[in-house]
């Protein structure tokens, strides 16, 4: 059974709309992350959260807003969608800090913006 659930698996949106990408992890981890993968960038770190608090934000645009309603949830809200936002978005989790700990990834949400 997958321990990190991302929903939906595929998502098609129109330019200017808003979408929420869901991520839930059942590994008991206290740190969660969002990454983006596209043809332009193989893997791009976006956000990290620890104990539901934002630790690091490498996303320049405020259109991307993580939301953590529970310790094991880290959703990603994207507003005013643009075609350039088309990518696969991966959620990941780990225990404590990253230096020695393994990242566990979800299967991703593939977003296409038309």
Partner 1 sequence: AQSVTQPDARVTVSEGASLQLRCKYSYSGTPYLFWYVQYPRQGLQLLLKYYSGDPVVQGVNGFEAEFSKSNSSFHLRKASVHWSDSAVYFCVLSDSNYQLIWGSGTKLIIKP
Give the binding site for partner 1 (CB under 8 A).
4, 42-43, 45, 56, 90, 92, 97-100, 102-108
**Exposure letters 8-30 (e unless 16+ CB within 10 A, then b):** eeebebeeeeebebbbbbeeebb
Min dist CB 33 to partner 1, Å, is 9
Min dist CB 103 to partner 1, Å, is 7
**Cα 108 to Cα 11: distance, rounded to the nearest angstrom:** 11
Min dist CB 80 to partner 1, Å, is 27
Pick between residue 45 and residue 79 the one whose CB is nearest to partner 1.
Answer: 45
């Amino acid at each position: 059974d997958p321990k990190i659930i991302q929903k939906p698996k595929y998502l098609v949106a129109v330019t200017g709309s808003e979408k929420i990408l869901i991520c839930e992890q059942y590994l008991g981890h206290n740190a969660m992350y969002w990454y983006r993968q596209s043809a332009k960038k193989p893997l791009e770190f976006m956000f990290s959260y620890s104990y539901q608090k934002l630790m690091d934000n490498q996303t320049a645009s405020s259109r991307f807003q993580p939301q953590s309603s529970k310790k094991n949830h880290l959703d990603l809200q994207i507003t005013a969608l643009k075609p350039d936002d088309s990518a696969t978005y991966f959620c990941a989790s780990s225990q404590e800090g990253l230096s020695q700990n393994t990242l566990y990834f979800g299967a991703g949400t593939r977003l296409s913006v038309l």
